[in-house]
Amino acid sequence: MYLHQEISKSERKKLVKNIEKHLKNYNNYKVAILNLNKQLEFISSKESKEQIFAGDINARGIIIHPQTSIDRLSYELQQIELIKESIDVSMSELTEVERQFVTYRYFKNWSIEKSAMEIGYSDKALFVIRNQVMDKLLISLGSVILM
């Protein structure tokens, strides 16, 4: 998305923060996919349809019908799966050191210092790697990061 576009420093910073937010939530996305699938399975089951055939009442007192819940959960599941799968594909295009950096820094939420020690690079070198990773991810995750 940002391959041939010039973006300002402030716009780049905003987009990078959004990418980092998604990377930091990667493990949460995996859990959410499992939980949403379980919820959809439950709502779709015959027993639950019989129990809530007339609809449930949400916190605002609005009747929620099973199909409405299924549609809402399905949409949420599709969004989260898109983000997770896009990160997976983008990660496969990074170098080994770049993948290690993303794994330690974002997926495991390690500090730059701890990540640098584990990878065997200096803190300064890791900042260069971070910028390279973000340049690549700005292109490969361009449309996904806007979600």
Q: Determine if residue 127 is left, alpha or beta; phi over 0 gives left, psi from -120 to 50 gives alpha, anything else beta.
A: alpha
* CA distances to 9, 11, 120 from 22, in Å: 20, 17, 25
Q: Half-sphere exposure of residue 144, counting CA atoms within 13 Å on the CB side? A: 23
Q: pLDDT value at position 75?
A: 93
Residue 144, pLDDT score: 73
Whether pTM exceeds 0.85: no
Q: Could you give the 3-state DSSP secondary structure of residue 56?
A: strand
- Asked whether the beta carbons of 108 and 57 are under 8 A apart, the reply is no
- State how far the Cα of 67 lies from the Cα of 23, in Å rounded to an integer: 32
Euclidean distance between CA atoms 66 and 2, whole angstroms: 41
Domain assignments of the chain as residue spans, ordered by start: 10-146
Distance from chain centroid for Cα 123: 26
Q: What is the pLDDT of residues 79-108, one digit of tens each?
A: 999 999 999 999 999 999 999 999 999 999
d(CA 97, CA 93): 12
Condensed to tens digits (0 to 9), the pLDDT of residues 15-74 reads: 999 999 999 999 999 999 999 999 998 887 755 555 555 555 555 555 555 567 788 899
